[in-house]
């Protein structure tokens, strides 16, 4: 309470000083010369200037002014997918999976968790399986990307695709493209892999239907199909 009273007294003293200065200015006559600038006119001018600056700053913060600066800048890249080169306009943070699905309409690549856990988005990059949701599309420029749509050659199914049909290895099959791409890499890397090898190789995939036994049967059939094709 005492502090509030002191502030009130200070304000009253300031107002009295301003009144006295105005009175002195009137007594000087026309107010020309240095005495024309009083504390009141100085404060009033400062307040007006500050208000003008604030208004100008506010205009700079309007959404219409900032929108162009905040939008991602698109870049043109050449992306090689399934043996073909595509020229695409992509944004800096576009993932490979997003571009494949929504830029090239290759919807066999699925988005499950979108955080590199389920494996549904797996594609091959230079024959090595990778999660498409965790790789920026700019990172694969100059590299060969293969999706499940690119496994078939001249109307002939890939050994893994044929094995899926032979074993009926999936129920809903949402996870199937990711499993298939990893199996395709396994068939090429180790055609003599055992069931235990298959289990370790496919450990980064989730089947929410729980058909892991049939999926491993499919992997073994795929290896058999590949060895038969090579013989």
Q: Is residue 41 predicted with pLDDT exceeding 80?
A: no
The CATH class, in words, for 159-230 is: mainly alpha
Q: Of the given ranges (69-73, 100-104, 177-181, 184-188), which has the lowest mean pLDDT? A: 69-73
DSSP per position, the chain: -HHHHHHHHHHHHHHHHHHHHHHHHHHTSS--SGGG--HHHHHHHHHHHHHHHHHHHHHHT-HHHHHHHHSPPPEEEEEEETTEEEEEEE-TT-BHHHIIIIIS--TTS--SSSSSSS-TTEEEETTEEEEGGGSBGGGGTTSEEE-GGGS-BTTB--HHHHHHHHHT--SS-SSHHHHHHHHHHHHHH-TT--HHHHHHHTTT---TT--HHHHHHHHHHHHHHHHHHH-
Between 230 and 24, name the one with better pLDDT: 230
d(CA 98, CA 137): 9
Query: Percent of the chain at pLDDT above 90?
Result: 66
Distance CA 170, CA 180 (A): 11
For the stretch 53-72, pLDDT in tens is 445 444 444 444 444 445 56
Decide yes or no: CATH 3.40.50.300 for domain 75-150: no
End-to-end CA distance of the chain: 99
Does this model's pTM top 0.75? My answer is no
- Determine the pLDDT at residue 124: 98
Q: How confident is the model at residue 174 (pLDDT cuts 50, 70, 90)?
A: very high
| Of the candidate ranges 48-52, 74-78, 112-116, the one whose mean pLDDT is the lowest | 48-52
- Residue 104 makes CB contacts below 8 A (sequence gap 6+) with 79, 81, 86, 88
Phi, psi of 187 (to 5 degrees): -60, -40
| Cβ-proximal residues to 86 (8 Å cutoff; 6+ apart), any chain | 78, 79, 80, 103, 104
| pLDDT tens track for 4-33 | 455 555 556 666 666 676 666 666 655 455
Of 135 and 32, the one with more pLDDT: 135
Instruction: For residue range 189-222, list pLDDT tens digits in order.
Output: 999 999 999 999 999 999 999 999 999 999 999 9
173, 165 Cβ separation under 8 angstroms? no
């Amino acid at each position: 309470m005492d502090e509030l009273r002191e502030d009130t007294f200070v304000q009253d003293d300031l107002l009295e000083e301003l009144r006295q200065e105005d009175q002195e200015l009137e007594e000087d006559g026309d107010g020309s010369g240095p005495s024309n600038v009083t504390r009141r006119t100085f404060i009033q001018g400062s307040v007006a200037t500050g208000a003008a600056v604030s208004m100008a700053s506010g205009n700079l913060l309007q959404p219409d002014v900032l929108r162009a600066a905040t939008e991602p800048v698109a870049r043109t890249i050449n992306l090689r997918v399934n043996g073909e080169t595509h020229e695409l306009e992509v944004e800096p943070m576009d993932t490979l999976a997003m571009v494949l699905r929504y830029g090239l309409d290759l919807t066999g690549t699925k988005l499950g968790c979108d955080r590199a856990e389920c494996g549904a988005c797996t594609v091959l990059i230079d024959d090595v399986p990778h999660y498409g949701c965790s790789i920026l599309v700019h990172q694969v420029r100059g590299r060969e990307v293969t999706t499940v749509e690119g496994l078939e050659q001249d109307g002939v199914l890939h050994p893994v695709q044929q094995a899926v049909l032979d074993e009926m290895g999936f129920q809903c099959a949402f996870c199937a493209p990711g499993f298939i791409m990893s199996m395709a890499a396994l068939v090429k890397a180790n055609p003599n892999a055992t069931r235990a090898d298959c289990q370790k190789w496919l450990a980064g995939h989730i089947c929410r239907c729980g058909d892991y036994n049939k999926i491993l049967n499919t992997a073994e059939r795929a290896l058999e199909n590949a060895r038969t094709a090579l013989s």
